[in-house]
Structure 1
Amino acid sequence: MLDTLASRLRPRLTRLYGTDVESVLERLVALAEKHLPDIKETRSQRWDQRDVFLITYGDQIQRDQEAPLATLHHFLRDRGLGDCLSTVHVLPFFPYSSDDGFSIIDFVQVDPALGTWDDLADLQQDADLMADLVLNHLSSKSEWFQAYLAGDATYERYFIEEDPAADVSSVRRPRSLPLLTRFETSRGTRYIWTTFSDDQIDLNYKEPDVLIAMMDVFLTYLSHGARIIRLDAVGYVWKELGTSCIHLPEAHELVKLMRDVLDVIAPHRILITETNVPHAENISYFGDGDEAHMVYQFSLPPLLLDALLTGDSAPLAAWAKTVCESAPGTTFFNFTASHDGIGVTPLAGLVSDERFGALVEAARSRGAHVSTKTDSDGGQSPYELNVTYYSALAEPGDEGSELHQRRFLASQTIMMSLRGIPAIYFHSLVGTPNDVDGAARTGRARSINRRKFQLEELDAILDDASSPQRKIFDGLKQLLEIRTQQAAFHPEAPQMVLESKDPALFGFRRTSMDGTSRIIVLANVSGAAVEADMKTLDMVGGWEASRDLISGRTTPEDRLVLEPYQVMWLTNV
């Protein structure tokens, strides 16, 4: 096994570091050998239709005298979510200094404020764990960076020093913040590369010691049972002045290197890349089937929001036709909301400028903060809508109405029907409105979508059978219970978008991997009833009377009427 690993890693390292890589290779193989006894495979296959992810903070739910990770575990178990959620993505659960966890002080210790590795092991008795490997940067308060500031030679090349007069205009910026940050060190003033903030210090992967250190972190997560590793902001990890410093060939080579490690020592573990960029750039991290197993569908959240706010699914349908397939053994990570806002950069080339602007203003009218980035010409443009997906789909002044609930549930139903694995953010699971007070308290726009609950408070909301949040929770739970039983919703099951003359109607067909079952997904994205001609929509013909899995009703052979924001899962099996 280790010989196989060495033979696969050698050409990767050569492309990264040149010809003298044997010492680096030996150290990597030794790391793998050290961790191998603790890396246990718990599944005999990578995924199936039962896979559904929950995205949450480790301290999302809190109770006195209990570690928040334990409280989260108890909540999921007590609310009966074990049968419809396969995996919990616990957002960075390490000690941190800013960015709600993404400015990590210590990569391998669980934040004592959340719990311990034992609490995460307990959680894994009921669900798989997805963990973040924050590759690009670490906290300015970390031991590594503090040692660099103090002049420790070990860390002298861990970070990227740059001349403040250097021309960095070609570097693509994800945020409207300075690229270089001034620090006083034992060797004098230094300007350090900080892509995301002055507290998030970029790591220098041109130094092999950095790769070794971060691969040790990677293998540590695998040793603690993490089945899915999320590579945060991986597109930015390699820098070359004079380039955009994003998606460079070396960044892809690092992903391939980590994929090689998984393929050899943990073949049923999953690598997922997080690159909030236009669609073509995003899916480049599939490589030739040799990079990420999954990529985020970053274009889906804004396209779906646009369709449901306008009643016009044309851009969504056009995009969906382009993402029906990926290489065997790969699939998409479908979501509508996460700890960040709704990224709008991935809309590039998918909607007109006018429609883009209308979406931004529609979100703003629903309480969204609009975050901007600095463009290459020095101008500012929106890159993120900071709003809960629940509030984004309300009509101003009508939040929580029955029609709003239907519209929101439609968004989640469409998302979980598409080819890939569905992921539900905690605040979508419980229909959380904008946390306006939270954003005002922290002064950070993203806090609007990061409310934390006391367990007693959340229980009171969900125990109220009349509350919109209870209806959203019950609706999603019912949908997931149905979905996980359908072979046609396997993550790699083929998908074909159906043609419709009515822009309010979005439809596609899913077919099981063995071809024995199929589901027609029909969604009305408008606030008015629409009629669907099944003979026209079913492009292969032969459609007959069917059953809607969601309502349980039998449908006619030829024409269906879909109520406002109704979604059907039609099967004749």
Structure 2
Amino acid sequence: MKNNVQLITYADRLSGAGIPELHELLATELTGLFCGVHILPFFYPIDGSDAGFDPIDHTRVDERIGSWQDIKALGSDCEIMADLIVNHASAESKEFKDVLAKGKTSPYWDLFLTKDKVFPEGASEDLLALIPRPKTTGCFTPYQLATGETVDFWTTFTDTQIDLDVKTELGRGYLKKVIDTFAANNISYIRLDAAGFAIKKAGTSCFMIDETFDFINELSDMANKAGMKSLVEIHSYYKTQIEIAKRVNLVYDFALPPLVLHYLTTRDVQPLVNWLKISPRNCITVLDTHDGIGIEDVAGKDDLPGLLSPQQIEALVAAIHKNSAGGSEKASGAAASNVDIYQVNCSYYDALAKDDLNYLIARAIQFFSPGVPQVYYGGLLAQENDLALLARTNVGRDINRSYLNKNEVTKAIDKPVVKALSALIKLRNQNEAFNGLFEICGEQQKLCLKWIHGRHSARLVVDMTLQQASLFLGDGEQQQQLELAELLAGS
């Protein structure tokens, strides 16, 4: 993976159309910004119960936005990341419909996970209490078969996302078919979506247990043998993330977004410094994605302390709600139809009260942190919370999943904060220092992040006492100082 900034986007929600139009946008208005793009689910259909993360056919591009030929063409110009939806498939899939029609005589019966496969003797309340529930309801949904029998199917997320039984030959074959399809169509990286929930075992949390690590290793090996690398998508306790990073190609740094918000809203730099000293180096950094801002990534676990204390987390969530004028409160937890109650749904721009300089400082910290940066399309364009879309769908995460047409994108690109962010992206892409050694120091309200590679150097100094951030860039012959406030003013 090139150590340059990448884009995260839906093909239709940024381009207003589909994959060919996204390809054109990357080559025109967004030229020079991104070396790769994570295209969020483009499978059939893109508009299911979870915005494409509930595929009816995981090996088919939704014809409304393009074809595999369009994916191949885009992949010839930049690195593409695609989602392998590990944990579940749609209740509307032909396989699950066959199960409903034929029951245990269906050739697809072993593809899906039922409650009694994990709990053949039944599940007590104590056993069920061990299982984390990312949604407000339970983890099983009863479906009636044509035979009249009612079966509890495992549904970790929405009731129409039926969990796969990945321990069976049929389940493994399903995933291998998707991986082989990706490999044949210029996909460079596979994002293992919801992999932490895939292995269920009675008497455990059914999340990131020992067998899950082995399963993730198997999937990563399968991707590697097909010529691709894998990114594991898991929200979890920070020490778990560190352990996962030792065993896979790439992980997300999901702790970074809340820690940056904590620093910029309280001016307390220490939790961020503590984390960046130990964070995985084989990581993808983000501030925002198609999901919400993770809280469990900085929280404690059982009696173990987290990166932030419970009081600091409570204050952070309150600050986000205040900065977004209550918008995030309407979209988070039980307030809307959420598949993850452990996240705060809000655009990162709104989470910082739409303060252009603080937003630019946040992005600078991201770009100077260890890892390859990805920028979500809403974050690229400094989008505000989409309260209208939230009101129409009552889906919490839609607050940060706007549908934009070409005119709206062009207008957003012309905003000063977006121009300044684009300039910052180009600086990150062009400086060889980021391929070298990382240094960090900070105390009270000040932060310093530095990279050195041969004669090249890049240093970011942030002082939140003054709300000031400076870049110092050198190539051995010339030294350049750039104030982010001046970058913003000059855009």
**TM-score for both structures, normalised by structure 1:** 0.75
Q: Report Cα offsets for 1:504-524 as digits up to 9, x if no partner.
A: 211122232xx4433222123
Aligned to 2:151: 190
Counterpart Cα distance in 2 of 1:392 and 1:444: 18
What's the counterpart of residue 337 of structure 2? Answer: none
* Partner in structure 1 of residue 160 of structure 2: 199
User: 3-state SS of the aligned residue for 1:411?
Assistant: helix
Query: Paired residue for 1:473?
Result: 418
1:236 equivalent in alignment to 2:197: yes
Q: CA deviation at 1:53?
A: 1.1
1:210 aligns with 2:163: no
Distance across 1 between alignment mates of 2:223 and 2:154 = 30
Provide the rounded CA distance (Å) in 2 between the counterparts of 1:155 and 1:94: 21
Shift of 1:169: 1.6
C-alpha displacement of 1:441:
0.8
- Pick which of 67-76 and 222-231 moved more: 67-76
Q: Report the CA distance between 1:58 and its aligned residue.
A: 1.5
Q: One-letter code of the match for 1:299?
A: A
Could you tell me whether the CA contact under 8 Å between 2:142 and 2:150 is conserved in 1?
Answer: yes
User: Which residue in the other structure is 2:283 paired with?
Assistant: 332
Cross-structure match for 1:354:
311
Deviates more, 1:116-125 or 1:157-166: 157-166
Spell out the pairing of 1:149-548 with structure 2 (5 A cutoff): 149-151=100-102, 152-163=105-116, 166-167=123-124, 168-187=128-147, 188-266=149-227, 269-287=228-246, 291-323=247-279, 326=281, 331-348=282-299, 349-365=306-322, 366=324, 367-369=327-329, 371-372=332-333, 383-394=342-353, 399=354, 404-463=355-414, 470-490=415-435, 493-498=436-441, 500-501=442-443, 503-512=444-453, 515-528=454-467, 547-548=479-480
Give SS of 2:12's match.
coil
Structure 1: gaps (5+ residues): 1-46, 374-380, 464-469, 535-543, 552-561, 567-573
Give 1:564 shift.
11
Instruction: Give 1:472 shift.
Output: 2.2
> Following the alignment from structure 2 to structure 1, what is the Cα–Cα distance between the partners of residues 318 and 49?
29
**Residue 303 (structure 2) aligns with:** none
Deviations 1:76-95 (A, max 9, x none): 2221x332201111101012
Shift of 1:274: 0.2
Would you say the 8 A contact 2:100–2:145 is kept in 1? yes
Q: Tell me if the contact between 1:526 and 1:564 (Cα under 8 Å) persists in the aligned partners.
A: no
Partner deviation per Cα, 1:455-480 (whole Å, 9 max, x = no partner): 123323434xxxxxx21221122112
Deviations 1:97-154 (A, max 9, x none): 2111111110000012211112222222332111000000011101111111111531
Shift in CA distance, 340/565, structure 1 to aligned 2, threshold 3 Å: farther
Q: What is the CA–CA distance in structure 1 between the aligned matches of 2:95 and 2:347, rounded to whole Å?
A: 36
Is the 1:192–1:201 contact (alpha carbons within 8 Å) kept by the matching residues of 2?
yes
Are the counterparts in 2 of residues 528 and 564 from structure 1 also a CA contact under 8 Å? no
Contact 1:84 1:477 in 2 (8 A): yes
Deviation at 1:526, TM superposition (A): 4.6
CA apart distance, 1:530: 8.9
SS in 2 for 1:459: helix
Contact 1:407 1:565 survives alignment (8 Å): no
Deviations 1:186-215 (A, max 9, x none): 341100110111011000112122101211
Percent of aligned positions that are identical: 30
Work out whether residues 54 and 426 of structure 1, in 8 Å CA contact, stay in contact via their aligned partners in 2: yes
Deviation at 1:371, TM superposition (A): 3.0
Supply the distance in 2 between the matched residues of 1:226 and 1:157 (Cα, whole angstroms): 29
Q: Equivalent residue for 1:118?
A: 69
Q: 1:525: how far off? A: 3.6
Deviations, residues 162-194 of structure 1 (Å, cap 9, x unaligned): 259522221122222211100011341100110
Please say if 1:72 is aligned against 2:29: no
Which residue of the partner structure matches residue 14 of structure 2?
61
Counterparts of 1:265 and 1:281 in 2: how far apart (Å)? Answer: 27
Q: What is the deviation of 1:372?
A: 3.4
Note if contact 1:482-1:550 (Cα within 8 Å) is conserved in structure 2. Answer: no
Q: CA separation of 1:120/1:531 partners in 2, compared to 1, >3 Å: closer, same or farther?
A: closer
- Distance in 1 (CA, whole Å) between partners of 2:57 and 2:481 is 47
Q: Is the 8 A contact 1:137 1:201 kept in 2?
A: yes
Deviation at 1:426, TM superposition (A): 0.3
**AA paired with 1:251?**
T
- 3-state SS in 2 of match to 1:154: coil
For the 8 Å contact 1:310–1:526, the answer to whether it is kept is no
Amino acid in structure 2 at the alignment position of 1:518: S
Return the letter of the residue paired with 2:445.
A
Let me know the Cα RMSD of the aligned residues: 2.6
Check whether the contact 2:179–2:223 (CA below 8 A) recurs between aligned residues: no
Contact 1:302 1:344 in 2 (8 A): yes
Pair 473,142 (structure 1): closer, same or farther in 2 beyond 3 Å: same
- Using the alignment, how far apart are the partners of 2:201 and 2:166 within structure 1? 11
* Aligned 8 A contact 1:335 1:415 in 2: yes
Name the stretch that deviates more: 213-222 or 331-340.
213-222
Taking the aligned partners of 2:2 and 2:81, their CA distance within structure 1 comes to 16
Shift of 1:71: 1.8
Runs of 4+ aligned structure 1 residues displaced above 6 Å come to 562-566
- Pairwise CA distance, 1:546: 7.7
Superposition deviation, residue 545 in structure 1: 11
Shift of 1:549: 5.5
Whose Rg is larger?
1
Question: Cα–Cα, structure 1 residues 448 and 204, in superposed 2: closer, same or farther, change >3 Å?
Answer: same
